[in-house]
Amino acid sequence: MAISRRGFLKGVAGGGGLLLVSGVPIANARMSTELPPQAVGLLYDATLCIGCKSCMVNCKTQNSVPGGALYKKGMTAPPYEDKGPKGDEGIWDAPQELSGKTLNIIKVYKNGTAETKDTAVNGYSFFKQQCLHCITPACASVCPAGAFRKDPGNGSVYYLADRCIGCRYCQLACPFGVPRYEWDSAWPEVRKCQLCRHRYAEGKYAACAESCPTGATIFGKVVDLRNEARYRLTLTPGTVYDFPVKTVDSTEKSRRPVARYAGGTYGLVEAGGTQNIMLSGVSFELLGFRKNIPNSDLPQLTWHYIRKILWVFAGVFAGGTAIYEFTHRQEKEGSHD
């Protein structure tokens, strides 16, 4: 039985959060652990990334059209971040984190003198954060309303806003800390990358890969991306290699020496495996990615844990909303001083 958003809010407001237990579709905990036959995804190779952020711009632009992961009825322009961390009114879009307006972000790691690219000590590296499109997504398994789904064909994990009840279990369940809530919206939704699934019918693919000039982000079938990643790890650093640009099977290449990779591939086994995988010259721990995620799918474990303490999440929902309303009101009152 799916719960309406209105029903959920009434339940929480009335202190009846525990009643939700009866409405949660436990079947979601038993999801496939197999890679879908036509699974697509991304390979991000940090050693090829120049930090230009074209991927972020195109992501925002292409997802602000009907069907896109950022689109809302009546939207006429991409949603820009208009406030920086210091409260400055932005003159351009410069997001610092994933948010309800930003589905994909490029960050930088720096150490010491930060002189050498893709080096842990006295070096720097770019890295990309976004939804990894888990093979067995914890976000979908815990959603009591069936608002998160995994496409059985291409494997993209997508969101149905009209089913969402705003409980934010998905945020708590995601082992990679990806989903974001639109705190500043009157009718908030959860936001995350949907692998640009709205573009496939037109023969298009992920906007971030489409606009990447170096081949740092490429799109394709997951089996091909995995083979490509494994092959790169066998190459001797300094070997000249034709890296595919935009898609894994592209004839467009970027010829350059192979960098020294640190460790293996991120996303291959974490949380039971994901459809987006990454390579880097700096270890993923140093880049801030969690490495203590079990190498088995999480939904079963997550669900059994969460359903026992549903009232905590109801409290988190009510408390978080109240705190946000309070601080937001203070901010508004402060701005009129």
The pattern of x and - marking residues 55 through 84 that bind ligand SF4 according to CB under 6 A reads x---x---x-----x---------------
277 binds ligand SF4 (CB under 6 A): no
108 binds ligand SF4 (CB under 6 A): no
192 binds ligand SF4 (CB under 6 A): yes
Neighbour tally for 266: CB within 10 Å: 25
Residue 125's beta-bridge partner residues? Answer: 109
Among 119, 130, 154, 247, binds ligand SF4 (CB under 6 A): 130
Closest distance between ligand SF4 and the C-beta of residue 105, in Å?
A: 9
Closest distance between ligand SF4 and the C-beta of residue 67, in Å?
A: 11
Q: Give me the helix-helix angle, 310-335 and 299-308, nearest 10°.
A: 80
Residue 123's beta-bridge partner residues? Answer: 116
Q: With CB under 6 A as the contact rule, which of the stretches 53-61, 240-248, 289-297, 322-330 interacts with ligand SF4?
A: 53-61
103 binds ligand SF4 (CB under 6 A): yes
Full 3-state SS string of 41-90: EEEEEHHHCCCCCHHHHHHHHHCCCCCCCCCCCCCCCCCCCCECCCCCEC
By CB under 6 A, the residues from 11 to 30 that bind ligand SF4 are: none
- Three-state DSSP at 4 gives coil
Number of residues that bind ligand SF4 (CB under 6 A): 41
Q: Which is nearer to ligand SF4, 64 or 119 (CB)?
A: 64
Q: With CB under 6 A as the contact rule, which of the stretches 14-22, 132-140, 300-308, 315-323 interacts with ligand SF4?
A: 132-140
Distance of alpha carbon 209 from alpha carbon 220, whole angstroms:
10
Q: What is the DSSP string of 101-166?
A: TBS-EEEEEE-TT--EET-STTEEEEEEES---BSS-HHHHH-TT--EEE-TTT--EEE-GGG--S
Among 47, 102, 104, 265, binds ligand SF4 (CB under 6 A): 104
Among 11, 144, 166, 179, binds ligand SF4 (CB under 6 A): 179
134 binds ligand SF4 (CB under 6 A): yes
